[in-house]
């Protein structure tokens, strides 16, 4: 799967991914009204609006980007209806040629992690029929439970040609509380990074592994260290834009081959129309604002990489 993602990144010259993280406050009034007209004041109405919102953003940006990353929490907040919209979003994005990274941050023990893997990147047999429940291409995974929490995902990656990104150093302010604590003179995130590189050997796909890592854009120095520690690991980098990361901070997340990292922006793209820079588009043309925000993000990142 990682080689497929790399091909798309190269083809579009775009090492970026758009985070589809809908919040009630971002949904244009017109879409909410249409949802309520059809389903009444309900979670179904919100879910319908969410899917229409995502669909318009996917349509407006799919020629520019290789992948989208729906954050499942933002769908779970709307209950079962939200997960219907999540499933529809995955399917629609794939129909437009995009790779879908489910930002699910799951992690549990043995057979339970296996069940998450089946649900999100695997298939399940019911009396001889095969079903792919949520059918993402790649997902994010939490490493706190150790190898027997992660390996069931790797097994499904190998069976189904899928990929994962394991949390190593997250983008949030308090990520250091546990991740930065020193063990034998080195921070925990480095040990997790080394383990990710070791797990990655079990699922190589070309020059890179289907087992990637998550390292926040807000921690460029740690990114530099981790880049060297995990040379064959693709790094998914959240925290660009709204969380404060900029193109110039991200250069060292990439390898010398110009590959090795994919930068996510969520609010900065999908809620672009709410920002003063893109206010001229107006709420009506929210998807055009998102497209312009993608163009600007690509300029920033290509510029930074060009000057590497």
Active site residues: 105
CB of 138 to a copy of itself, least distance (A): 16
Nearer to a copy of itself by C-beta: 188 or 259? 188
Tokens 């997960």 -> residue: 83
Is residue 274 within 8 Å of 289, Cβ to Cβ? no
Neighbouring-strand partners of residue 163: 138
Give the residue with the Cβ less far from a copy of itself, 270 or 298: 270
Residues 59, 97: Cα–Cα separation, whole Å:
11
Alpha-carbon distance of 269 to 61, in angstroms, equals 10
As given in the structure block, the two tokens for residue 205 are 């796909």
Residue 239 in contact with residue 171, Cβ under 8 Å? yes
CA angle 178, 182, 188 (to 5 degrees): 55
Cβ atoms of 180 and 142 closer than 8 Å: no
CB of residue 93 to a copy of itself, shortest distance in Å: 17
Tokens read off for 201: 């050997």
Structural tokens at position 123:
């298939």
- Tokens, residue 180: 């930065």
Between 203 and 255, name the residue whose CB sits nearer to a copy of itself: 203
Nearer to a copy of itself, 146 or 206 (CB): 146
Q: How far apart are CB 3 and a copy of itself at their closest, in Å?
A: 27
Closer by beta carbon to a copy of itself, 97 or else 110: 110
Give the nearest distance from C-beta 92 to a copy of itself in angstroms: 15
Q: Rounded CA gap, 192 and 189, in Å? A: 5
Q: Which residues pair with 16 in a beta bridge?
A: 263
Least Cβ distance, residue 23 to a copy of itself (angstroms): 7
Name the DSSP class of 54.
H
């Amino acid at each position: 799967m990682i080689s497929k993602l790399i091909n798309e990144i190269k083809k579009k010259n775009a090492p970026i991914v758009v985070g589809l993280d809908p919040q009630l406050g971002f949904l244009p009034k017109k879409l909410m009204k249409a949802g309520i007209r059809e389903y009444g004041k309900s979670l179904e109405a919100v879910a319908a609006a969410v899917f229409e919102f995502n669909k318009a953003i996917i349509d407006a940006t799919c020629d520019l980007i290789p992948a989208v990353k729906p954050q499942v929490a933002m769908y779970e907040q709307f209950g079962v209806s939200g997960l219907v919209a999540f499933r529809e979003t995955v399917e629609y994005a794939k129909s437009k040629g995009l790779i879908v990274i489910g930002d699910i941050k799951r992690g549990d023990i043995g057979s339970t992690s296996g069940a998450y893997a089946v649900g999100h990147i695997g298939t399940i047999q019911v009396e001889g029929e095969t079903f792919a429940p949520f059918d993402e291409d790649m997902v994010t995974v939490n490493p706190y439970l150790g190898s027997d929490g992660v390996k069931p995902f790797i097994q499904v990656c190998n069976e189904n040609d899928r990929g994962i990104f394991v949390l190593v150093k997250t983008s949030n302010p308090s990520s250091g509380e546990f991740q930065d604590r020193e063990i034998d003179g080195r921070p925990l995130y480095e040990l997790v990074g080394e383990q990710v590189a070791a797990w990655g050997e079990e699922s190589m796909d070309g020059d890179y592994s289907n087992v990637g890592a998550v390292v926040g854009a807000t921690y460029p120095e740690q990114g530099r260290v981790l880049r060297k520690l995990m040379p064959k690991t693709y790094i998914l980098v959240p925290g660009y834009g709204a969380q404060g990361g900029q193109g110039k901070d991200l250069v060292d997340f990439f390898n010398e081959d110009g590959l090795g990292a994919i930068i996510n922006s969520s609010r900065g793209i999908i809620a672009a129309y709410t920002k003063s820079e893109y206010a001229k588009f107006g709420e009506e043309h929210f998807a055009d604002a998102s497209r312009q925000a993608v163009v600007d993000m690509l300029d920033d990142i290509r510029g930074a990489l060009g000057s590497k």
